Chains A and B, each alone.
Chain A
Amino acid sequence: MFEARLVQSSILKKVLEAIKDLLNEATFDCSDSGIQLQAMDNSHVSLVSMNLRSDGFDKYRCDRNISMGMNLGSMTKILKCAANEDVVTMKAQDNADTVTFVFESPNQEKVSDYEMKLMNLDQEHLGIPETEYACVVRLPAGEFARICRDLSQFGESVVISCTKEGVKFSSAGDIGSANIKLAQTSNVDKEELAVTVEMQEPVTLTFASRYLNSFTKATSLSNVVQLSMSPDVPLVVEYRIGEIGHIRYYLAPKIED
């Protein structure tokens, strides 16, 4: 039997919002340590890796490891039926072919349950090597979303170059070119407004802007986003999910022909 109860259904709603543009379906791998998801987008250019730790749930029970193949479009429809302040419980019998979502209103006067068929998805997990990144940038998530949106008007690629001074985002296309430079902030009162750069060596990489924009659908999950880069390896865009976990997007770079 698998049962996971979350007081804030908004977390699960935001998680779905963050992945449903990139992925049509994904497997939720549940074990006693929590729920993990790893899936590539259809074009195999990006990879989503999400982790929700069991201790972040109000109630979590997983008698046997269970992998639930979910159609994310259907799951989004079901989660739209939950109010933000509802308590959500996901539950499934061992080797079940359906999963049930139960939404309880705060005063318990309204309880809804939705049963969804599970899919048989082939499990192709990729090994992600531990990497010491040459540059790790932390910046306000809203700022990053704004930059990606503004630059995507200029071209289909964004060049991200990181030096000890700061990080520069550039794009060029038919209408012209654009550069956005963010300097490291010196002393900000609020951590989540800071721009920090930890640099081992300068890095410049090029990425497709439409994937960066898809990643920023996770902005509602966290005030801060972390970008990790090393020469010739995928970019990592990471958003924390409250105290319960994280969502990491890996994006393969574009290279000179």
Chain B
Amino acid sequence: MSQTSITSYFSKR
């Protein structure tokens, strides 16, 4: 299992 990053779900405003 590999950990994903929160930034791949929420875009920088």
Residues of A near any B CB (own CB < 8 A): 40, 44-47, 124-129, 157, 206, 208, 233-234, 250-257
Contacts and interface: CB of A to CB of B under 8 A. Distances in A.
Given A124-B12, A126-B12, A127-B13, A47 B6 contact: yes
Task: Specify which of A125, A126, A256, A257 lies most central, judged by the most chain B CB atoms within 10 Å of its CB.
Answer: A126
A124 B11 CA distance: 10
B1 A128 contact: no
Q: Please tell me the size bucket of the interface on B.
A: 10 to 19
A252 B1 CA distance: 12
Nearest to B2: A257
A6 B11 CA distance: 34
Interface in B1-13: 1-13
B12 A252 contact: no
Nearest to B1: A254
A126 B11 CA distance: 5
B6 A129 contact: no
Given A47-B10, A126-B10, A257-B1, 9 more contacts: A45-B3, A125-B13, A126-B6, A127-B13, A234-B6, A250-B10, A252-B3, A252-B6, A252-B8
11 contacts: A44-B6, A47-B10, A125-B13, A126-B12, A127-B10, A127-B13, A233-B9, A251-B6, A252-B8, A253-B4, A255-B2
Contacts of B8: 252
Nearest to A257: B2
